[in-house]
Amino acid sequence: MSARESAVTAPPVTATIMDAAASGDVLLEARGVTKRFGGLVAVRDVNLDIPKGGIVSIIGPNGAGKTTFFNVVAGIIDPSAGAVEFRGRKLIMRPRRTWIEPILWVAPSVIVVLIALALGVQNGGDEGLAITGLLALGLLITTFLLAIIRPPWYTQLLARMGILRSARPNDVVTAGIGRTFQNIRLFQNMSALENVLVGMHIHLRSNLVDHFASSRRQRREEEAAAKRARELLRLVGLRGIDDELAKNLPYGDQRRLELARALASDPVLLLLDEPTAGMNPAETSAMTALIGRLRKDLGLTILLIEHDMRVVMGISDHVLVLDHGERISEGTPEEVRRDPKVIEAYLGTSAS
Amino acid sequence: MTAANTKLSRTPAGGPGLRGRLSDLSSRHRSIAVIVGMSLVALVLPLIVLLPPFSSFSGQTVWMDGFTIAGIYVLLALGLNVVVGLAGLLDLGYAAFFAIGAYTYALAASPFTGWDLPFWPMLLVGAVVAAIFGILLGAPTLRLRGDYLAIVTLGFGEIVPIVILNSSKYTDGPNGIGGISPPTLLDTRFPTTGNPWPFYLTMLVLIILSMIFIYRLQDSRLGRAWMAIREDELAAAANGVNTVVTKLLAFAIGASTAGLAGVFLASKLQTVTPNLFRFDVSFTVLAMVVLGGMGNVWGVAVGAFIIFMIQSVFLKQLNIFFNNVQVPILSDIDFLQYQFLLYGIALVAMMLLRPEGLFPSRRRRRELHTEEDEVFAEHGDAMGAAPE
């Protein structure tokens, strides 16, 4: 019932959102995103601006490239061309000159060995050789570990040398983008509460020493996290299932739990991949109402992939229509609904 | 311990009753439970072997030496449990880290190199060196899963003993390194024969510390991240878990436990040879983890102990017994030769009858046994809302 209400109350909010967009308050900016799989172009040259606080939907027939675009934005696959900027920071791009990186790993060790040889270490006996070897090995391991852990300054250093790499999925989450999956991907054998706690992972600060010492700091942090996780479960409408294994929850609750888990990272932008897939009409309208509430209460910006037209038309400010990987239409739900190209893509060309 | 985990482990135990209350208490004060439990076990074992059936096999000293070696396998199983049971990374080359730990101490305290570094700091060094190798092995395998990961780790497990075998200049090849110094405490060397207590107690302390640390890791956010990766790596990454660092930490911590065990082995045997670390060690430890109950710290510890005792004592005694009694066919069989056949049979039987292991973690028991009870209850719902 409340779904209808929120759908009705949506327009005024929309107006302010579009104002924000007009004033240039863009949260996410995708430019020329292209993804090729061999000869197949899954996504071709897609541009998209998501204004802060807006709900933007991507629709299109099956195989239109919606999920591929999503996965590019989420850092799961690298784009073949184009880039995605989030809050003014270039997050996703086509990897460039990545072959240089391995050279950088070995360079310090090689330099050390060369210097040592130049100083005549080979004439100085075993000890000098051993020290040189250990030093070179240590440097190699250090650079190698740096490359694996990839701290921000390392990425920046690489970027300055023209070596570009997309953010990894977990970096995308840290930047403030949360997501759900089309086919629910919960941690099946963990409890609902633990699922949400994993979602909070990036906000927990305890380190190995805390783990070993079971420090008070860690205990306090974990208690606070569990409290927050319970709140999130209530927020998405899950009660009394905190200790149930995720796989034992009914389908609709699993979708809600996945949403709670995505919210746990405190995202600014939420990517929802068909949040109402497989739901019956009642569940669908409840989910739609929930999404509307997330925007209103938490001030979230939402990017939505959806098949269900009622959901899209009810809550979106802006709709992007893809077909065969290309943008065929874009605009307000009303504009898109009337666009002959959209009708054609969904229903086929009319015989006349 | 987290509030969440306490709650989780409490609920299914359910009900009052002494057993429920005991498990409650032990999950709230886990470290104390480990210390008390292990100390009791360590106290009872030397007494049990003084009793009739056991005392007839061999003397207390021999038994306790056996227990100490069994402790090494318990350590190995605890470490492998982190990699396989918690993080879900199948590692078939675990003996490599054992070897690395052992050779680290062998090189640091033997006439072969002429060094005589003290044992206690070398325990830590061995663990760290093994951890570094764990990371080095882990790094190239980060993108691999399941079967492929198993094959790469299998290769690593084969490479390490072979490298040790062939680099005679540094390891004395197949002869191994002998004359390794035993540990020293308060200026007294641990006796290598006679009094088994020093080694026995050292092993006890190592196991207690490892168990406490592993329990704590399991209950931390790192343990949760490991489980998340085991369940669904992509979803874990999409929820902010740095899968690279988390998996490497699993390898590193698993390897460091093996490194500890290796250093201890070297100091206990005073000699190490490459063939102490062949594939059968990796396999045995994996079998211990699986049979004991993957993911359950106590389970794998007990599983490892039992399997080691069966392999090193029971089978030998079986041979002697049948030889003495002169049972027609059975007395001709050397049961030690059929050790792996017996493992195989045990594993197959286990997977069919009790896939969660002898002493499963509550979580895994729920994983494997909720389906029968609960799927039917919710079938109607699931069918009604089935996706796609």
Which residues 232-291 of A are in CB contact (within 8 Å) with B? 242-243, 245, 248, 250-252, 261-262, 264-265, 277-280, 283
Least confident of A157-171, B44-58, B73-87: B44-58
* Number of domains within chain B: 1
CA distance A13 to A7: 11
* pTM flag (> 0.90): no
Residue with tokens 């949040």: A275
Does B378 lie at the interface with A, CB-CB under 8 angstroms? Answer: yes
Q: What is the mean pLDDT of residues B175-188?
A: 82
Give kind and range of the element (H or E) at residue B228: helix B221-231
What residues of B are in contact with residue A218 (Cβ under 8 Å)? 220
CA distance A269 to A53: 9
Q: State the pairing for strand pair A301-305/A269-273.
A: parallel
**What residue of B is the nearest CA neighbor of A246?**
B367
What residues of A are in contact with residue B1 (Cβ under 8 Å)? 214, 219
* Phi, psi values for residue B34, rounded to 5°: -65, -45
Percent of chain B with pLDDT over 70: 86
CB contact under 8 A, B139 and A191: no
Listed in sequence order, the DSSP H helices in A23-61 are none
Question: How high is the pLDDT of residue B7?
Answer: 41
Shortest alpha-carbon distance between residue A256 and chain B (Å): 14
Using an 8 Å Cβ cutoff, are B27 and B20 in contact?
A: no
DSSP string, A315-327: H-SEEEEEETTEE
User: Which one of B35, B218, B221 makes the best mutation probe of the A interface by having the most chain A beta carbons within 10 Å?
Assistant: B221
pLDDT at B343 over 80: no
Output the CA torsion sign for B23, B25, B31, B34: negative
Give kind and range of the element (H or E) at residue A59: strand A55-59
In this prediction, residue B316 has a pLDDT band, given cuts at 50, 70 and 90, of: confident
CA distance B16 to B375: 27
CATH 3.40.50.300: which residues of chain A? 1-94+168-176+267-352
Binning chain A into helix, strand and coil, the percentages to the nearest 5 are 50, 20, 30
Q: Which residues contact A252 (CB under 8 A, 6 or more apart)?
A: A279, A283, A287, B385
CA distance A96 to A163: 6
CA distance A135 to A117: 13
CB contact under 8 A, B385 and A190: no
Using an 8 Å Cβ cutoff, are A323 and A59 in contact?
A: no
Least confident of A92-106, B66-80, B94-108, B245-259: A92-106
CB contact under 8 A, B234 and A218: no
CB contact under 8 A, B231 and A219: no
Superfamily of domain A1-94+168-176+267-352: P-loop containing nucleotide triphosphate hydrolases (3.40.50.300)
Does B159 lie at the interface with A, CB-CB under 8 angstroms? Answer: no
Question: How high is the pLDDT of residue B383?
Answer: 36
What residues of B are in contact with residue A198 (Cβ under 8 Å)? 224-225, 228, 236, 239, 241
Half-sphere exposure of A195 (CA within 13 A, CB side): 35
Output the CA torsion sign for A199, A200, A202, A206: negative
pLDDT at B315 over 90: no
pLDDT, tens digit, 9 for 90 and up, residues B321-334:
777 777 777 777 77
Which member of B221, B234, B381 has the closest CB to residue A204?
B221
Instruction: Please report the beta strands in A223-324, taking only residues with DSSP state E, as ranges in sequence order.
Output: 269-273, 301-305, 318-323
Domain ranges, residue B124: 31-51+58-366
Question: How high is the pLDDT of residue A352?
Answer: 45
The b/e string for A71-93 (b: 16+ C-beta within 10 A; e otherwise) is bbbbbbbebbebbbbbeeeebbb
Shortest alpha-carbon distance between residue B324 and chain A (Å): 51
pLDDT at B258 over 90: yes
**What residue of A is the nearest CA neighbor of B138?**
A148
Which among A74, A63, A61, A88 is positioned nearest to A33, based on CA atoms?
A74
**What residue of A is the nearest CA neighbor of B238?**
A169
By the 10 Å C-beta count (0-12 exposed, 13-18 middle, 19+ buried), B127 is classed as buried
Shortest alpha-carbon distance between residue A216 and chain B (Å): 10
Does B213 lie at the interface with A, CB-CB under 8 angstroms? Answer: yes
CB contact under 8 A, B234 and A76: yes
User: Which one of B115, B222, B239, B378 makes the best mutation probe of the A interface by having the most chain A beta carbons within 10 Å?
Assistant: B239
Question: How high is the pLDDT of residue B375?
Answer: 41
**What residue of A is the nearest CA neighbor of B249?**
A208
CATH number, domain of B299, equals 1.10.3470
Half-sphere exposure of B254 (CA within 13 A, CB side): 35
Query: Domain for residue B79, yes or no?
Result: yes
CA distance A46 to A32: 5
Residue with tokens 């609920």: B11
Question: How high is the pLDDT of residue A185?
Answer: 92
Question: How high is the pLDDT of residue A62?
Answer: 82
In this prediction, residue B16 has a pLDDT band, given cuts at 50, 70 and 90, of: low
Highest mean pLDDT among A154-163, B155-164, B165-174, B379-388: B155-164
Using an 8 Å Cβ cutoff, are B259 and B95 in contact?
A: no
Output the CA torsion sign for B46, B50, B53, B57: positive
Average predicted confidence (pLDDT) for chain B:
81
Per-residue pLDDT of chain A (352 residues; tens, 9 = 90+): 344 334 333 334 444 444 444 445 889 999 999 999 988 889 989 999 999 988 999 988 888 888 899 899 998 899 999 999 998 888 888 888 888 888 888 888 899 889 888 887 777 777 888 888 889 988 988 888 888 778 888 888 888 888 888 888 888 999 999 999 988 999 998 999 999 999 999 988 888 888 888 888 888 889 999 999 999 999 988 888 888 889 899 888 999 999 999 999 999 999 999 888 888 888 888 888 899 888 888 889 999 998 777 788 888 889 998 888 888 888 888 888 888 888 887 776 655 4
Task: Report which of residues B373 and B278 the model is more confident about.
Answer: B278
Residue with tokens 């069966």: B310
Residue B233 token pair: 């790596």
Question: How high is the pLDDT of residue A349?
Answer: 60
Q: How many CB atoms lie within 10 A of CB B88?
A: 21
CB contact under 8 A, B237 and A219: no
In this prediction, residue B380 has a pLDDT band, given cuts at 50, 70 and 90, of: very low
pLDDT at B219 over 90: no
The b/e string for A103-138 (b: 16+ C-beta within 10 A; e otherwise) is ebbeebbeebbeebeeeebeeeeeeeeeebeeebee
In this prediction, residue B388 has a pLDDT band, given cuts at 50, 70 and 90, of: very low
By the 10 Å C-beta count (0-12 exposed, 13-18 middle, 19+ buried), A276 is classed as buried
CB contact under 8 A, A190 and B216: no
